[in-house]
Amino acid sequence: MPEYGLVPHCKFGDKIVRAKFDSNVRLVCVAPANDDINTVFAFEVSTNGVDWTNSGLKFQYYEEPILNDVFPDGGDSRGGTDVYFLGAKFTNITDRPQEFNCKFTPTTIKAQPKIMPAVYVNSTAITCKTPGGWSKGDRMNLQITFNGVDYDEHGFTFVFYHIQEAFPRSGPSNGLGGDILISGEGFRAEQVPKCRLNKMVTDPISVTWNQIRCPMLPHTAGPTFFGEVDFAITANG
């Protein structure tokens, strides 16, 4: 209580600001502005403005980054895609991985957000790998934080595609058996999907969110060929 002299304060280096009691185990204070981004400041607290802690905790400022784009904006739901944040004024703070990370938040899947460590590339690029384990494709809200608390509000999205099955898995070697249907979620024409049958790459006949329709090509050996050939697709080029 202020009348008893219990007014909490925070000290960032030599700058002191008022704090507030959030609970009996937490104080909250707003960091004062500081242009010095090259110094690691000592951080201490006081409940009476006189007696300060000697915790050895540190606080560092960084220049507010500029975020322009994310590339690519889609990948496999199994994870492992390298996503790049492009912009300017990025800072190399990879010594604090618990604070420097990317967050993928589902928009339709009922699941908790997943957080992945970010990696500094240079002052204009940061990368992080996509997490796996999604049950189906979805459009995710993608955000990055440099301090573990303040996530950006640029509205970037990342679409996970999920391939469920291909049907049919056989057909006549003259190529007159109809189309091959790829079922799943997260398919987009702007991601330039491709079909590959017997090492021949073609554009799909059509692309919707839930389906890629691939042509069934004739075999190069002629209509009498019998046997297995490779079949694959890419949903993001």
pLDDT digits (tens, 9 = 90+) for 133-186: 998 899 999 999 988 888 999 999 999 999 999 999 999 999 998 999 999 999
Distance CA 215, CA 202 (A): 8
What pLDDT is recorded for position 5?
67
Strands 211-214 and 206-208, by their bridges, are: antiparallel
- DSSP assignment letter at 230: -
Q: 71 pLDDT exceeds 80?
A: yes
Give me the percent of the chain exceeding a pLDDT of 90: 75
pLDDT, residue 119, reads 92
What is the predicted pLDDT for the residue at 135?
86
**pTM of the prediction?**
0.77
Residue 129 has pLDDT above 90, yes or no: yes
Q: Please tell me the predicted confidence (pLDDT) of residue 95.
A: 63
The dihedral over CA atoms of 220, 222, 228, 232, expressed in degrees to the nearest 10, equals 40
103-106-107 Cα angle (round to 5): 130
Q: In terms of pLDDT, which residue wins out, 63 or 86?
A: 86
Average pLDDT over every residue of 11-22:
93
Is pLDDT of 2 > 70?
no
What mean pLDDT is reported for the chain?
Answer: 91
Contacts of 16 (CB under 8 A, 6+ apart): 9, 10, 49
pLDDT band at 60 (very low <50, low <70, confident <90, very high): confident
pLDDT, one tens digit per residue, over 198-229 is 999 999 999 999 999 999 999 999 989 999 99
Q: What is the pLDDT of residue 149?
A: 86
